C-alpha cells in the first residue's frame, strides 16, 4: 500500500500497522492454544489452559484498547491512503471502537470461562448429561448478555453479537431471508421424503483408510500441507490464517461420508485463509472478511463442488480403490447415496435440503437466550419441542440435541446464522461460477477442482478483508446477495434426484 502526503501521516500509519501486526501475531498464538486444546492437550490441563487463555485475552484486550490507537487514527489523513490503506483503517477503527466498549475484566472472564467450559461440554456430551453443563452455560449466557449490552450501546443486543461474525448484518434482515428459505425447504423436504429413498451406505469402513483418503481429498481441493496439517477432533474445525492454517476432521466406521465431507468443508475454510494475498498477513485484511463469506467457501467446496455428479463420479472410484466393493452398483447410485435425504439429528451430517432448518432452530433459540425470553434451564425442552415441530420426530438423547454443537460452550452467540447466510452466498457464487466455467464438470469428473477453486481464489479469497462482506459477494457473483439462486439450485438438483 502507499501513503502519500505528510510524514506525520506516514509515521502514524506505519506505527499503527506495526502495532496491529504484533496484536494479530499474538492472536494467532492464542488461536494455536485453542487448536491444541481441541486436538492434543492432556485432559488434566484444562484448568491451567483456561488461565493461560485468560492471560492471553488480557494482553490482547490491552493492545486492542491501547489509547495510542486513537491518536494514530486521528493523525492519519485517510485521503493520503490508497484503497488498501483505507480498508485497513476501516477495520482498525471498527475493532478499536468495539474493544473499547468491552470491559477488560469481562473479556478476561469470558476467555477463562469458555476455555474451561469447552471441556465440560465435551464431558457432558459424552455422558448424555445436560444437567451437568447447564450451570456453566447459564454463566456464559449471562456474560454474553453483559457483552451484548456493552457493545450495543442501546441498540439490539443480538445485533451487537452478530456483528462480530458478520459485520453490518442485522437479525431482522436475516430473519426475513430465513423465512423466505423455510417454506420452500420444508416443501422440498416433504416432497423428496415422500419418494423411495436411494440406497445408502452399509457395512464398516476402516478408519485408517478413511484418513488416508481424506488426506487425498484435502490435497485434491488445493489444501497446502506445507503450511497446514490435518488432525482429528470431536467437532471438525479450521484454525489459523496466513502461513499456518490447520484443519481437523472425525471418523465413523459406519459413515465415511462424515469424515470426507467434514474434511472438504474445513478445507474450504482453510483454503480461504491460505488464499488471501500474502501482503495482508498479520493485518486486519489478512483474514476472512466474515463468517458468512467464510462459510460460503466451505459450503461451496463441500456441496456444489464436492457433492456434484461429476466429482462424486471420481470419488466413487477412489472409494472402490480404498474399500473394495461396498455395495453401491455404479456412479449414478453413488451420487444418489451421497445426496440422499435422510432423517437425522446432527447439523453437520444433514443433507443440503435440511441443513438450513437445523441452523434456523439454533438462530431462534439463541436470540431468545440473549433476549432473556428463554431461560437456560428450559433450553433442552425448547430445543426438543422445536426439533419435533420442524423435523417430525423426537430427539432421543442430548448429544443429538442441545449438546451436539460446541459453539455455545465457547461463547459463539451470533455465529450460527452465518452458516445459512454462507449457503445463500454460496448459491450466488455457484451460479456465477457455472456461467464463467462451462467446462467445469469435465474437470471435476477427473478429480480436478482447480478450475473451481482457482475461480474462488481469484474472485473471493485473495481479497481477504479488502471489501465488506456483501461487496465481496456482489463483486464475485454480479448480484446482491439473495436466497433465490440457492433455492433454484436445490430445487433443480433434488427434483432430478427424486424424480419430482
Q: Is residue 256 part of a domain?
A: yes
Grid cell, residue 456, equals 474462488
pLDDT for residue 163 is more than 80: yes
- Give tens-digit pLDDT for 380-389: 999 999 999 9
Over residues 288-308, the mean pLDDT reads 97
- Domain boundary among the residues 89, 124, 155 is at 155
User: What does the pLDDT read at residue 250?
Assistant: 93
List active site positions.
266
Domain shared by 98 and 196, yes or no: no
- Long-range CB pairs of 40-48 (<8 Å, 24+ gap) are 40/231, 43/119, 46/115, 46/116, 46/119, 47/116
Q: Is residue 98 part of a domain?
A: yes
Grid cell, residue 168, equals 453490518
Task: Indicate the SS3 state at residue 247.
Answer: strand
- Domain boundary among the residues 130, 155, 180 is at 155
> Of the candidates 116, 114, 138, which has an alpha carbon nearest to the alpha carbon of residue 380?
138
Q: Is residue 162 part of a domain?
A: no
Which alpha helices (H) appear in 76-170, and where do they start and end?
Answer: 83-101, 104-127, 130-152, 157-162
Domain shared by 240 and 99, yes or no: no
Domain shared by 123 and 205, yes or no: no
Backbone angles phi and psi of 203, in degrees to 5: 95, -175
- Please state, in angstroms and rounded to a whole number, the distance separating the CA atoms of residues 262 and 448: 19
* DSSP state at residue 286: S
Domain shared by 28 and 96, yes or no: yes
Q: What's the chain's average pLDDT? A: 94
Q: Is residue 80 part of a domain?
A: yes
Grid cell, residue 119, equals 471441556
Lowest mean pLDDT among 2-16, 221-235, 314-328: 2-16
Domain that holds residue 135: 7-155
Binning pLDDT at 50, 70 and 90, where does residue 43 land? confident
**Rounded percentage of the chain residues whose pLDDT exceeds 70:** 99
User: What does the pLDDT read at residue 38?
Assistant: 86
Beta-bridge partners for 239:
246
Domain count, the chain: 2
Grid cell, residue 337, equals 447415496
- Please state, in angstroms and rounded to a whole number, the distance separating the CA atoms of residues 273 and 464: 8
Domain shared by 116 and 242, yes or no: no
- Domain boundary among the residues 155, 189, 208 is at 155
Q: Is residue 1 part of a domain?
A: no
* Cβ–Cβ < 8 Å for 436, 455: yes
pLDDT for residue 111 is more than 50: yes
* Cβ–Cβ < 8 Å for 182, 361: no
Lowest mean pLDDT among 164-168, 346-350, 368-372: 346-350
Domain shared by 291 and 334, yes or no: yes
- Identify the H or E element spanning 232: strand 230-232
Over residues 29-50, the mean pLDDT reads 90
Domain shared by 408 and 298, yes or no: yes
pLDDT for residue 2 is more than 60: no
Domain shared by 70 and 181, yes or no: no
Over residues 112-139, the mean pLDDT reads 94
User: What does the pLDDT read at residue 9?
Assistant: 74
Over residues 176-181, the mean pLDDT reads 94
Domain shared by 49 and 88, yes or no: yes
Q: The CATH number of the domain where 246 resides is what?
A: 1.10.1370.30
Q: Is residue 348 part of a domain?
A: yes
Domain shared by 441 and 342, yes or no: yes
Over residues 487-492, the mean pLDDT reads 98
Q: Is residue 160 part of a domain?
A: no
User: What does the pLDDT read at residue 233?
Assistant: 86
Domain shared by 363 and 236, yes or no: yes
Distances (CA, A) of 259 to 41, 106, 231, 241, 262: 22, 37, 11, 23, 5
Binning pLDDT at 50, 70 and 90, where does residue 7 land? low
Domain shared by 418 and 483, yes or no: yes
- Please state, in angstroms and rounded to a whole number, the distance separating the CA atoms of residues 5 and 142: 48
β 244-249/238-241 pair status: antiparallel
Q: Is residue 166 part of a domain?
A: no
Amino acid at each position: 500500500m502507499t501513503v502519500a502526503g505528510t510524514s506525520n501521516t506516514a509515521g502514524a500509519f506505519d506505527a499503527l500497522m506495526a502495532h496491529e501486526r504484533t496484536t494479530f501475531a499474538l492472536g494467532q498464538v492464542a488461536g494455536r492454544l485453542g487448536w491444541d486444546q481441541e486436538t492434543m492437550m492432556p485432559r488434566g490441563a484444562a484448568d491451567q489452559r483456561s488461565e493461560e487463555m485468560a492471560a492471553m485475552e488480557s494482553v490482547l484486550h490491552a493492545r486492542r484498547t491501547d489509547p495510542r490507537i486513537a491518536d494514530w487514527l486521528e493523525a492519519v489523513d485517510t485521503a493520503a491512503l490508497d484503497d488498501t490503506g483505507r480498508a485497513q483503517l476501516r477495520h482498525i477503527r471498527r475493532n478499536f471502537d468495539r474493544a473499547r466498549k468491552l470491559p477488560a475484566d469481562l473479556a478476561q472472564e469470558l476467555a477463562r470461562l469458555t476455555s474451561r467450559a469447552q471441556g465440560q461440554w465435551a464431558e457432558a456430551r459424552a455422558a448424555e448429561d445436560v444437567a451437568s453443563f447447564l450451570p456453566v452455560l447459564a454463566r456464559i449466557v449471562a456474560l454474553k448478555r453483559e457483552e451484548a449490552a456493552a457493545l450495543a450501546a442501546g441498540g439490539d443486543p443480538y445485533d451487537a453479537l452478530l456483528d462480530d461474525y458478520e459485520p453490518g448484518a442485522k437479525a431482522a434482515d436475516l430473519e426475513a431471508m430465513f423465512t423466505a428459505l423455510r417454506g420452500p425447504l420444508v416443501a422440498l423436504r416433504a416432497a423428496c421424503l415422500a419418494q423411495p429413498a436411494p440406497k445408502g451406505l452399509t457395512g464398516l469402513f476402516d478408519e485408517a483408510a478413511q484418513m488416508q483418503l481424506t488426506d487425498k481429498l484435502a490435497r485434491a481441493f488445493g489444501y497446502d500441507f506445507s503450511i497446514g496439517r490435518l488432525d482429528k477432533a470431536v467437532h471438525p474445525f479450521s484454525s489459523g490464517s496466513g502461513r499456518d492454517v490447520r484443519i481437523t476432521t472425525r471418523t465413523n466406521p459406519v459413515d465415511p461420508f462424515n469424515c470426507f465431507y467434514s474434511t472438504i468443508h474445513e478445507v474450504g475454510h482453510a483454503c480461504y485463509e491460505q488464499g488471501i494475498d500474502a501482503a495482508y498477513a498479520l493485518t486486519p485484511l489478512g483474514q476472512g472478511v466474515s463468517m458468512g463469506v467464510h462459510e460460503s467457501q466451505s459450503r461451496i467446496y463441500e456441496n456444489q463442488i464436492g457433492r456434484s455428479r461429476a466429482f462424486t463420479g471420481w470419488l466413487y472410484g477412489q472409494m472402490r480403490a480404498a474399500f473394495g466393493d461396498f455395495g453401491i452398483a455404479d456412479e449414478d447410485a453413488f451420487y444418489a447415496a451421497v445426496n440422499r435425504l435422510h432423517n437425522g439429528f446432527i447439523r453437520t451430517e444433514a443433507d443440503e435440503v435440511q441443513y438450513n432448518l437445523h441452523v434456523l432452530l439454533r438462530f431462534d433459540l439463541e436470540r431468545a437466550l440473549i433476549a432473556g425470553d428463554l431461560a437456560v434451564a428450559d433450553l433442552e425442552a425448547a430445543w426438543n419441542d422445536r426439533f419435533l415441530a420442524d423435523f417430525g420426530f423426537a430427539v432421543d438423547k442430548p448429544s443429538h440435541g442441545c449438546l451436539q454443537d460446541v459453539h455455545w460452550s465457547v461463547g459463539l452467540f451470533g455465529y450460527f446464522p452465518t452458516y445459512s447466510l454462507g449457503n445463500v452466498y454460496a448459491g450466488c457464487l455457484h451460479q456465477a461460477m457455472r456461467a464463467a466455467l462451462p467446462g467445469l464438470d469435465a474437470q471435476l469428473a477427473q478429480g480436478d477442482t482447480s478450475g473451481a477453486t482457482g475461480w474462488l481464489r481469484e474472485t473471493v479469497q485473495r481479497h481477504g478483508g479488502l471489501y465488506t462482506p456483501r461487496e465481496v459477494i456482489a463483486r464475485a457473483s454480479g448480484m446482491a446477495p439473495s436466497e433465490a439462486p440457492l433455492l433454484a439450485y436445490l430445487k433443480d438438483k433434488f427434483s432430478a434426484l427424486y424424480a419430482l
